[in-house]
Amino acid sequence: MNFNYASVASGSCGNCHYLEYKDTKILIDAGLSGKKIEENLRKLDKNLENTAGILITHEHTDHIKGAGILSRRYNIPIYANRNTWDCMTDKLGKLKEDNIKFFDNDIPFIIGDINIKAFSIHHDAADPVGYTLNNGITKISVATDLGHVCDNIKSNLFESKLVVLESNHDVQMLKIGSYPYYLKQRVMSNKGHLSNEDAGKFCVELVERGTQKILLAHLSKENNFPELAFETVKGVLKEKNISIGKNLELEVLRRGTISNLYAV
């Protein structure tokens, strides 16, 4: 039995990931309208009935916009650490008490058939996390909104068969683009977003530690485009004699649209 993964949407306009294993369905983030998430999932003949949980990475709107409405509509529990809950409660609307779930970073927990671990990442939010999901045989990971990649992030993502990894911006596009100076500094900071070049360097380490498929995610609309992200990462991998199609499957997740359903 495989994990199934799909990106419901990925980018600064909204992020949402769908995962299923056996009878357990999970969303990671719900940063679009509830209606748009439902519409995108229908394109894969998927729905949110009996969804076991919505896991929140952090409280920014492009990650939580539809979480409250989906929780109410489908009676779905929402999971986040306490600091994130403190910052997002008033943004989600009224929720059933039973659907407010807390976890502690770095302490594994179980939802249905899936073992989950939330690990700390570096971003300008209250207590942002990435996630690893394990069925006892296969591990997959989701890590976006990364200011930089530290040893803790590496240790959590290594040995993941599939990794959803941020490749947010091209540094030169960002520098000469229309963003105000303070925003450029934020994006490039250690609590901002991961560049294409830095994503490529980390991809090398992931492949060396067992990753077979990498999906580049959370691309900036203003400071990146899919072909550039792909070619930049591909170039970094090539320098280390890692060949796309032979040593690794590499794809780019598109903004606002559902991806393929990946069986892992």
pLDDT digits (tens, 9 = 90+) for 8-62: 999 988 999 999 999 999 999 999 999 999 999 999 999 999 999 999 999 999 9
Both structure tokens of 103 = 């976890």
* Side-chain-facing half-sphere of 119: CA atoms under 13 Å: 20
Domains and CATH numbers, the chain: 4-254 (3.60.15.10)
Backbone angles phi, psi at 62, to 5 degrees: -70, 5
Residue in the block written with tokens 């989950």 = 116
Task: Give Cα 157 distance to the centre of its chain.
Answer: 12
Inter-residue contact 217 to 181 (CB < 8 Å): no
Query: Cα(132)–Cα(130) distance, rounded to whole angstroms?
Result: 7
| Average pLDDT score over residue span 72-94 | 98
Residue 3 confidence class, pLDDT cut points 50, 70, 90: very high
* pLDDT at residue 4, rounded to an integer: 97
Both structure tokens of 232 = 């930049």
Residue 100, helix vs strand vs coil? strand
Report percent pLDDT > 90 for the chain.
Answer: 98
* pLDDT at residue 13, rounded to an integer: 85
Query: Cα(256)–Cα(6) distance, rounded to whole angstroms?
Result: 12
| Average pLDDT score over residue span 112-128 | 98
The model scores a pTM over 0.75:
yes
